[in-house]
Amino acid sequence: MHNYCINKLLDLKEVKIKNIIHADSFVKIFIETKAKTHTCPSCGAKTNKVHDYRQQTIRDLPFQMKDCYLILRKRRYRCACGKRFSEKYDFLAHYQQRTTRLTKYIVNELRQSVTLKTVARRANVSATTVARILDTIHYTCPSLKEAISIDEFKGNAETGKYQCILVNPKQRSIMDILPNRSQAHLASYFKEINRSERYRVKYFVCDMWQPYVDLAHSFFPNAQVIIDKYHFVRQVTWAIENVRKRLQKSMTATMRKYYKRSHKLILARYKQLENRDKKACDIMLLYNDDLRKAHMLKEWFYDICQNTKYSIQRTEFYEWIRNAESSGIKEFEKCAATYRYWSNEILNAFKYGITNGSTEGFNNKIKVLKRTSYGIHNFERFRTRILHSCN
Ligand SMILES: [Zn+2]
């Protein structure tokens, strides 16, 4: 009865438990299987002649917080043709010293943002074993869908400071992680994807980096290029922040501190501020013509972004650019020049409403993974772990 329960707990089919040793830190379970007729792998004849037994120690899933070892009495058979061969077991892959389910457990633990060492400790194997298992996991790029977005993140991998992340913005899934963002590398990567697949892509989302747009035109000729909303809105945020910083320089120390502390009031949507904060914001703007004008432009631009009618967004966008260009505020003149240069691609963002929003979430996960995976310099492993834990 006792053995029956342990058998159920162990959940290995056709295994007999002969003995169990419980120690403080480990459990050893001695097992063997029933002898049966086998087919010789060499000549195909049937045999049930036992040649000999060997004891093999197999690591298994941790059991009751203890390291667990299965001590298997491994049977070898002998065939009339002279061939000697071992029994096959469902729970044990060929030439492995751990159960299949322990390998699965390790593969699954690798989805978490923890170090290889931590996984190794949890599974009672060496970090080298975990690394070797990690190297057997392979992800290929899924086929392209109608929308694709590209962004970079600072991965500090062996292949360069910046890595690229390809996302399917509609499905919100990572498609691939590329070792670097150089145009040559990206070109050779996209070249590998067959033409008909590339020609199906209708939307290509990226930031304001010319090489991305050039790549889009050459490899995805049927795609509308869209500048990601976060990336162009950020320009307005930077502009008003720079205006504030410039004005602060000519202020008294007390005033400077006040403006520095309250800079969030200027950045926030005015209509969403509490009355008290609105007043504080009003006072800050009252004494600074440039900041007041900058604030007006910022609020106006946010309104354009939130407008739901494309024709209005388009008209107002150009009107906004003209206003910013003649505002006399150099930070906004610069912003307006950028917007004018990228106007078609920015308007596409309004028109099609596709953003790179999900990428930001992935980037945060990557950041955590990067921090906890201190020691992953190997790009392939880094890529596998990102794809493994995000999809
Ligand atoms: Zn044989």
Per-residue model confidence as pLDDT tens digits over 233-289: 999 999 999 999 999 888 888 888 888 888 899 999 999 999 999 998 998 898 889
Average pLDDT over residues 357-362: 80
Distance 83 CA to ligand 1 centre (A): 5
* Token pair in block for residue 83: 């061939």
CATH of domain 147-228+367-390: 3.30.420
Report the pLDDT value the prediction gives residue 132, as an integer from 0 to 100.
92
Distance 78 CA to ligand 1 centre (A): 8
In this model, does residue 10 exceed pLDDT 80? no
Distance 52 CA to ligand 1 centre (A): 16
Distance 85 CA to ligand 1 centre (A): 9
Tokens 């390809």 map to which residue?
166
Distance 86 CA to ligand 1 centre (A): 13
Domain ranges of the chain: 2-96, 147-228+367-390, 233-352
Cβ atoms within 10 A of the Cβ of 330, count?
13
Distance 79 CA to ligand 1 centre (A): 5
Average pLDDT over residues 298-316: 97
Distance 87 CA to ligand 1 centre (A): 14
Distance 96 CA to ligand 1 centre (A): 24
Distance 44 CA to ligand 1 centre (A): 6
Distance 47 CA to ligand 1 centre (A): 8
Residue type, position 61, single letter: L
Residue type, position 267, single letter: L
| Beta strands per DSSP E along 37-146 | 38-39, 46-47, 50-63, 66-78, 84-86
Q: What is the CA radius of gyration of the chain?
A: 31
Distance 74 CA to ligand 1 centre (A): 19
Pairing of strands 46-47, 15-22: unpaired
Distance 41 CA to ligand 1 centre (A): 7
Distance 40 CA to ligand 1 centre (A): 5
Distance 39 CA to ligand 1 centre (A): 8
pLDDT tens-digit map of 212-237: 999 999 999 999 999 999 999 999 99
Q: Which of 100, 107, 108 is nearest to 12 (CA)?
A: 100
Report the pLDDT value the prediction gives residue 1, as an integer from 0 to 100.
44
In this model, does residue 367 exceed pLDDT 70? yes
Average pLDDT over residues 316-322: 98
Q: What is the pTM assigned to this prediction?
A: 0.82
